[in-house]
Structure 1
Amino acid sequence: MSETVHYRGILKMIERYNNETLEDQCKRLLDDKELPSYCDSYEEFFLDENFDKAVIIDGMIYLAEKEAVDSDSDIFKVKKINDNEIEFEVRYYNGGCSFNEAIDEAFNNMK
């Protein structure tokens, strides 16, 4: 069921191993599960498996530590805390927008 959701929290970057590609990192974080036929890449599979808590920004994976908040209007905000953490607040209707798209919109608003 779709509903309006409102989250506030921090995105924490997941460090990548030396010489590890984003695709390799996604595969590793998925515990080397076999790529399902409905996905074209491990990046797509990783985002599908973690649709409500992971985003990829500028080729880096961030995991969300978030809390639900109650409010009435759409919100798309981000603020860089340091090189590895980004504070965020998003509120959106999840029937027309995903968590990843909401974070992307917040970054577009910041520019």
Structure 2
Amino acid sequence: MSETVHYKGVLKPLEKQLGESLEEQCRRVLGGKELPSYFDNYQEYMLDVHYKDMTIQDGILYAIERESVDPDADMFKAQRHENGEIAFEVRYYNGGCGFEEAIEEALSQLKKQ
């Protein structure tokens, strides 16, 4: 069932190992599991398995730490910290927008600042 949702939290970048690509990092995070035939790559697979606690933005894998906040109206806010973390607050109707799209919108607003 679709509803308006409101989350506030932080995206924490996950460090890559020396010389590791994003695809290799996603495979490592998945514990080296074999790629199911219905996924094109490990990034898609990882986002399917960890859709609530990880995201990929601008080629960087982030752990999501969020809390649910009482929903009211759409909101897309982000703030970059010096340590590489990105604090965010998003509120949206999840029948027309997903968390991944909400984070993308918040980050696009951040780039405009």
| Alignment TM-score > 0.5, same fold | yes
Q: Which residue matches 1:92?
A: 92
Alignment of 1:12-51 (within 5 A): 12-51=12-51
TM-score for both structures, normalised by structure 2: 0.92
TM-score for both structures, normalised by structure 1: 0.93
Alignment partners' CA distance in 2, 1:75 and 1:94? 12
Alignment partners' CA distance in 1, 2:97 and 2:49? 17
Q: Mark the runs of 5 or more structure 1 residues left unpaired by the alignment.
A: none
**SS of match in other structure, 1:7:** strand
Q: Per-residue displacement from partner, 1:29-58 (whole Å, max 9, x unpaired)?
A: 001111112210000111111112211122
Change (3 A) 1:96 1:38: farther
> Which AA in structure 2 matches 1:73?
A
- Deviation of 1:64 after TM superposition, in Å, equals 1.0
Identical amino acids, percent of aligned pairs: 54
Q: Per-residue displacement from partner, 1:50-105 (whole Å, max 9, x unpaired)?
A: 11221112211111111100131001000001242110000112222221111001
Q: Which residue matches 1:67?
A: 67
> Contact 1:54 / 1:63 at 8 angstroms: preserved in 2?
yes
Count residues with an aligned counterpart. Answer: 111
Alignment partners' CA distance in 2, 1:14 and 1:94? 26
> Which AA in structure 2 matches 1:94?
N
Q: Which residue matches 1:6?
A: 6
Q: Which residue matches 2:103?
A: 103
> Contact 1:11 / 1:62 at 8 angstroms: preserved in 2?
yes
> Contact 2:4 / 2:71 at 8 angstroms: preserved in 1?
no
Q: Mark the runs of 5 or more structure 2 residues left unpaired by the alignment.
A: none
